[in-house]
Amino acid sequence: MSLADKVLAVNNDLPIRTDLPVHSGKVRSVYWLTEADSARLIKEKGYDVKADAPLAIMVISDRISAFDCIWHGEGGLKGVPGKGAALNAISNHWFKLFKENGLADSHILDIPHPFVWIVQKAKPVMIEAICRQYITGSMWRAYEKGERNFCGIELPEGLAKDQKLPELLITPSTKGILKGIPNVPEVDDVNITRQDISDNFAAFNFSAAEDIGLYEKLLKEGFDVISGELAKLDQVFVDTKFEFGYVTDSKGQEKLIYMDEVGTPDSSRIWDGPQYRDGKVVENSKEGFRQLLLSHFPDPDILLNKDRMDEREALARDNALPESVLMAVSETYTAIAEKITGQKLHLSDNPKAEIIDILRQDYGLIDE
């Protein structure tokens, strides 16, 4: 079996019973279950949700996106071996710790397979909740150009690249295009301030004004849990993105939960501790892949300039990356997953067949 066969690149073609089109993101695909299947599973498995809650099967892939494009390798390699299993294992680990620490639940109800989550439908808060413990990346590039105000927060003079910030900063941006909010441009992923959120909390899908404080608390406490655990492994938690939403439990209580993924190499920067203390940044996250792409192509502005999106998409489409590049990413992801979870990662020879088998036998979701 070739390396390309072991990669789950296409994850929107599984024969899972659904009435709705499959929703595919850059990395995950979502299959909304029928009302009958949702109700049956809630009853059979005892999930703590309303009896009529909509459920979905979320299947991760091994695809890799960077700079809003999907990249591929030589030899038909359409993703990174082990990446999907690594992302899910890391997220599962942190979601479990959040629950054990009394923070909040997540959207995950069940984990049938390393590539698969059964999730409940949440009403998403329309904010990409980004927190930063160090100044690097886009924030550093803007700071270097003289910007000092980030999302309404004033930064002091004299900060150096990759330095630890005086405090954990919350620098939110919009999730999707939001319309009719004063001072907030109608474009995806635009920076916003806490004032923007509190003045228009309902437009961002918050149920109540006081939930802004709860979201910030869950953000900071979640960050601290991950940061503390990574510090024990001598890894530096640099920055990350959280997403939140509302669900209703079996008692009819609405609650704010964590959703999407948390603390993964896709949604966070993680640095190697010993190297950082020696003055060198070694990435244990997707940032390493991004930096590699910037140095791999002669004109990095294509990757950084949003006005050159057509050229960027052509670059990703027309250039197969060396296999060694994707295998180096594979090593980064699987190594950090095994370090965080303390367990060997199960890498399947045929993940698609395994998923279909489990969803047929244990969940009755595959039409024969």
User: Residue ranges of the domains in the chain?
Assistant: 3-122+347-361
Q: With contact defined as beta carbons under 8 Å apart, do 261 and 234 qualify?
A: no
* SS3 category, 111: strand
pLDDT tens for the 368 residues of the chain, in order = 677 888 999 999 999 999 999 999 999 999 999 999 999 999 999 999 999 999 999 999 999 999 999 999 999 999 999 999 999 999 999 999 999 999 999 999 999 999 999 999 999 999 999 999 999 988 999 999 999 999 999 999 999 999 999 999 999 999 999 999 998 999 888 999 999 999 999 999 999 999 999 999 999 999 999 999 999 999 999 999 999 999 999 999 999 999 999 999 999 999 999 999 999 999 999 999 999 999 999 999 999 998 999 999 999 999 999 999 999 999 999 999 999 999 999 888 889 999 999 999 999 999 86
Phi and psi, residue 346, nearest 5°: -85, 115
**Helices 287-296 & 323-341 angle (0-180, nearest 10):** 170
Q: With contact defined as beta carbons under 8 Å apart, do 171 and 191 qualify?
A: yes
Distances 141 to 9, 43, 160, 346, 360 between C-alpha atoms, Å: 33, 52, 11, 39, 50
Query: How many angstroms separate the CA atoms of 342 and 253, rounded?
Result: 35
Among residues 366, 339, 342, 344, the alpha carbon closest in space to that of 355 is found at 366
Query: How many angstroms separate the CA atoms of 170 and 217, rounded?
Result: 11
- What pLDDT, on a 0 to 100 scale, did the predictor assign at position 1? 64
Assigned CATH topology for domain 3-122+347-361: Phosphorylase Kinase; domain 1 (3.30.200)
Q: With contact defined as beta carbons under 8 Å apart, do 265 and 282 qualify?
A: no
- What pLDDT, on a 0 to 100 scale, did the predictor assign at position 2? 75
Bridge partners, residue 258, by sequence: 106, 244
For the record, the structure tokens of 203 come out as: 């437009």
What count of other Cβ atoms lies within 10 Å of the Cβ of residue 228? 11
- What pLDDT, on a 0 to 100 scale, did the predictor assign at position 3? 79
Query: How many angstroms separate the CA atoms of 255 and 242, rounded?
Result: 16
- Is 248 buried (19+), middle (13-18) or exposed (0-12) by CB count in 10 A? middle
For the record, the structure tokens of 39 come out as: 């109700």
Among residues 46, 19, 16, 39, the alpha carbon closest in space to that of 29 is found at 16
- Helix (H) or strand (E) run with residue 293 in it: helix 287-296
